[in-house]
Amino acid sequence: MPLTSIRIIVPLVWMHLFMLPANGIANEIVSGDEIVSRVERPVEKAIATRQDTQREEERWRAARDKMLARLEALELENKHLQIRQEQLRTQVAAARERITAKETQMADIDQIGSLIGPFIDEMIVQLRASVDDSLPFLINERRARVDRLTDLAADPEVAVSEKFRKMMEALMIEAEYGNTTEVYQATITVGENAMLTNIFRLGRMSLFYQTLDQKNCGVYNMAAADWQSLPRTFNQAIQTAIEIGAKRKPVELLTLPLGRMAGR
């Protein structure tokens, strides 16, 4: 093989040596350690740069992972907020429907109130007439109840529903008197004589009296709107009725005069 075709690989160190300027070689003698030092410094610098680069890359990856985790958290939170927003939209729509229904209901109530007010007034007038024209039992208590109801109906601060409730309550109390009996003492006038008596109320149908000595008895005459004496033969029956009404005897059948009904 021709000599000119031979390639000689020269080590990097010796290349640096051979590439030194001629005048440098002539002026100073470079030791082997200096040559090694000159070669190692760029290598160490390159290694340090690589290490710094790796540390920067690690910090960047950590920052990136942190930002990705934060992004995922924000996306999840956004998803929850969208779900909550949709729920709120549904709730608001339902609330608006309820408000509309309530407004309609309130308008209906106002309309009913304008109609029911005169009805309540009319019922109070009829109730007062019923108390005045019926049997005179608990008359002061019943008239006071009607008076309170009249004052309530005239009060603009009281709701129509409350007025109606109180009116129905008074009517129920009056109606309940027809299903009960009662015994109480009262001073009544028979003819021209005032006397303390035991009164027996038979529902809303009849009132009977008997003197405390059980010698005289009588009944309230609705037609005459006055007390009327009865024959003494009714004393026993009325006495028994008083004891039954006072729950001192069991209930039994009695024969009592009901008298004449009022002409109303």
Residue extents of the structural domains in the chain? 180-264
Q: How far apart are CA 18 and CA 12, in angstroms?
A: 10
Q: Give 229's pLDDT tier (boundaries 50, 70, 90).
A: very high
In the predicted model, is pLDDT for residue 221 greater than 60?
yes
| Residue given tokens 């998803």 in the structure block | 79
Residue 24 has pLDDT above 70, yes or no: no
Q: How high is the mean pLDDT of the chain?
A: 82
Q: Is the pLDDT of residue 250 over 90?
A: no
Higher pLDDT, residue 213 or 263:
213
pLDDT digits (tens, 9 = 90+) for 147-185: 999 999 999 899 888 999 999 999 999 999 988 999 999
Tokens for 1? 């093989």
Residue 200: the pLDDT is 94
Across 208-224, average pLDDT: 92
